[in-house]
Structure 1
């Protein structure tokens, strides 16, 4: 009889773990608090528009990296339509000046040197590193817990030529790197590449991936992508219980050791298993489901001291016209500043023009989305719980003020507006339970470094594993995929099985 494994969370990591465990002869069930798969990798419908909430680019979208091989074990990648953006984003200052941050390294070099020749040294540092990283082929890899001496030697040979650059730029934040610029337009352009506290090496490598066309966008959006993984998991014999929030992980003592052996749902239903895997929120898992009993110093210090990605608002607008000539991603000044929450006033906005994906809007119409960071999830969760009328009024105010302030650049949006929607940090918590409403987990800061991870096992607890973005700084879909794959490899070893997988349709 197959060993039973309960997985908490039907995000990308949970479904990845489920698929690989099913491939290796385990009997798995996933419990998910939402009514659909994907976690943050999702889409929602409003008035005929499909609002995408996640994928901007998918690392491993085409052959050329180990990540493609891994995705192709769970999704038929040959049938997935991929769109490669020409421009990462276009940054405008409102005075007619702009920089197109091209994904092609040669075009990017020409653009940056033309717009900011006084910053040639900074530009060539970025371009030189991106060119070098474009030669780096990322292997499929396996969990650190399974590394042998031979694996270490192989990794050293593979990454050795790139280690000086990796070490150098992992110690510099995006904000610090941008701060070297003399040209104010270039300074703001580089400063908006991603979360400013993150190591600049992350965006250098991203530019390399984009240049190599292995980080494109999958047409159909995020929920379509998640549904493909869900389909594979169910075809492999897995089961998903939706609307099933886990309140407690059961443990018992056997032969002097504590081990996980099941879960209790918020409806007081008890389910038993041989193993439990949490691919859910890390803080909730450790300090609520397990009541803080199985943490070591390193884990507690992570949760006390390390930076998490911020929470966010997402403004979505359905426009009854086509915006084909615009870049797919724009950053530009608002006509007037907008206060989103106490102390959070924004003057620029980053807008995604989804004309590149015809599945997200009716013919002849366009979906616009703007993801805006927030550092005050508690304010919005408290407001929603204690004064829902004010919560709704604030959402309406922010939507109105942002839409009006965007018209200086995008024209009379109100005349063509068919749909508007604003999700808040409280929305993120409601649907994903992510700690602080974070959109990816731990930020890979210069302080944290490239390879500082939390273990997938916990001290003093057998037959329990953690997977997902709360174990691996940097976050993102590839991290979720590989954590799910990695935890499956660990369980196979524990059960005395040789891990196996196969490409789609092999």
Structure 2
């Protein structure tokens, strides 16, 4: 990871109080990463966040002594060679947060099989081979193909393929395909609709370099980035909603807040939902018709439905890690009960995470924090008001197949629907990770990080291939690098 320094302000005469070199909209990990690098380089940077805490989906919340992670359950790519690991080293984030690594990082469970995802590549390959001996040679080939390929190599090889295409190319056993489809898929998106390229990124960053967890909960990582940003001179304002990006003659001039006050800057980075960025904050009148048409054709990812439980006993599991679970009963009966699109719309599964299993301080003594998450299409308030409790009960009943009699010990229960995730992130339809990762939407420039409007840049998962904190952090680094180059060029 190349560090950079500008060592002087964009405006050598000095900036006024309400003027900044760069304004960043959104204190998600992409925005925080971008802000850290720009502030570190000597620029006057302001981050504006509509929520009362940093992180976006990388946040935690507390209820009656229990800590729950809202959407991100672990970090990937944190090794010395990983994208996020390089950023952590570059920004010296270990000053503010301690990462532990779970081993195994995950356990995958279906009706037919249970496999632990070991941190050691050879042990992981052996786990799959011992469960599927007839596919041993092909299992090793797939692991080594993804492990030894660069991101550009994976893009060249897989850009036109679905995950189903990739699995069919390597395997015959449908049970093995189901295991990989569950773990490499995208929040319930079925393999035939999921990009093989995006799935390979998930595989590379989570299966081969995953299982990292910050002590204190996922929020600790976002808080560490916010502290790094402020330590480098950046300004960060919470509960501050940007209503408009001010543009004159196709050039950025600053932002207008909800209270109608203006803050000036000739460079703005939007780390928020791309649909909101262009259609609300910028406005269609500033955009070319071809761009509007392209945006209208793009499809956001699915959202999520989560149940957060505080239980009055410790869980007894073989491994302290996340669990991925799918069963025949789930597929046949349905967790969500949508009835539109059927199995083509969502592949139902549950991701289990246990913050207090990784850090005992995240729950009262002899208790456990349990997070249960599944992919969920968007629906209106009436649907969730009528169905959320029933859906939560279905998820808990399925969870009892992994944690018996959990219902008898619930003392805290919170439910999050796609409407909840929209409320706290403003992502269109509560999208979990930007655009849906389908083959038709995976291109090298999902959205260019330097927009057609002078001074407007993008960061975050709406610009990246694949999903996960590692990818959005990398997008933040890339946005900062592009801005640095643009500033030096203008000088």
Fold equivalence (TM over 0.5): yes
Unaligned runs of 5+ in 2: 1-13
Corresponding residue of 2:447: 454
Corresponding residue of 2:134: 118
Q: Does 1:91 align with 2:108?
A: yes
Structure-to-structure mapping, 1:456-475, within 5 angstroms: 456-459=449-452, 461-475=453-467
Flag the 1:466–1:348 CA change in 2: closer, same or farther, 3 A: closer
Q: How far has the Cα of 1:423 moved from its partner?
A: 0.4
Structure-to-structure mapping, 1:116-265, within 5 angstroms: 116-120=132-136, 122-133=138-149, 163=153, 167-179=156-168, 181-193=171-183, 194-195=185-186, 196=191, 197-204=193-200, 206-209=202-205, 213=209, 216-253=212-249, 258-265=250-257
Aligned residues of 1:399 and 1:420 also touching (Cα < 8 A): no
The count of corresponding residues between Structure 1 and Structure 2 is 457
Q: How far has the Cα of 1:456 moved from its partner?
A: 2.1
Tell me, in whole angstroms, the C-alpha distance in 2 between the residues paired with 1:86 and 1:267: 49
Q: Does 1:487 align with 2:475?
A: no
Flag the 1:125–1:300 CA change in 2: closer, same or farther, 3 A: farther
Q: How far has the Cα of 1:233 moved from its partner?
A: 1.5
Corresponding residue of 1:412: 405
TM-score by length of 2: 0.83
Tell me, in whole angstroms, the C-alpha distance in 2 between the residues paired with 1:189 and 1:209: 17
Q: Does 1:349 align with 2:359?
A: no
Flag the 1:480–1:131 CA change in 2: closer, same or farther, 3 A: closer
Q: How far has the Cα of 1:441 moved from its partner?
A: 0.9
Tell me, in whole angstroms, the C-alpha distance in 2 between the residues paired with 1:175 and 1:468: 27
Corresponding residue of 1:397: 390
Corresponding residue of 1:442: 435
Flag the 1:66–1:183 CA change in 2: closer, same or farther, 3 A: closer
Q: Does 1:477 align with 2:469?
A: yes
Q: How far has the Cα of 1:497 moved from its partner?
A: 7.6
Corresponding residue of 1:285: 277
Flag the 1:87–1:334 CA change in 2: closer, same or farther, 3 A: farther
Tell me, in whole angstroms, the C-alpha distance in 2 between the residues paired with 1:392 and 1:267: 32
Q: How far has the Cα of 1:200 moved from its partner?
A: 3.6
Q: How far has the Cα of 1:215 moved from its partner?
A: 6.0
Flag the 1:313–1:66 CA change in 2: closer, same or farther, 3 A: closer
Unaligned runs of 5+ in 1: 139-158, 384-389, 500-506
Flag the 1:103–1:464 CA change in 2: closer, same or farther, 3 A: same
Tell me, in whole angstroms, the C-alpha distance in 2 between the residues paired with 1:73 and 1:87: 27
Tell me, in whole angstroms, the C-alpha distance in 1 between the residues paired with 2:291 and 2:75: 29
Tell me, in whole angstroms, the C-alpha distance in 2 between the residues paired with 1:170 and 1:87: 30
1:200-231 deviation per Cα after TM superposition (whole angstroms, max 9, x unaligned): 45554555556765762223222111111111
Aligned residues of 1:313 and 1:371 also touching (Cα < 8 A): yes
For the residue of structure 2 that corresponds to 1:70, the secondary structure is: helix
Flag the 1:370–1:175 CA change in 2: closer, same or farther, 3 A: farther
Residue 418 (structure 2) aligned to one of 398, 421, 425:
425
Tell me, in whole angstroms, the C-alpha distance in 1 between the residues paired with 2:109 and 2:210: 27
Flag the 1:47–1:284 CA change in 2: closer, same or farther, 3 A: same
Flag the 1:118–1:473 CA change in 2: closer, same or farther, 3 A: same
Q: How far has the Cα of 1:188 moved from its partner?
A: 1.6
Flag the 1:362–1:177 CA change in 2: closer, same or farther, 3 A: farther
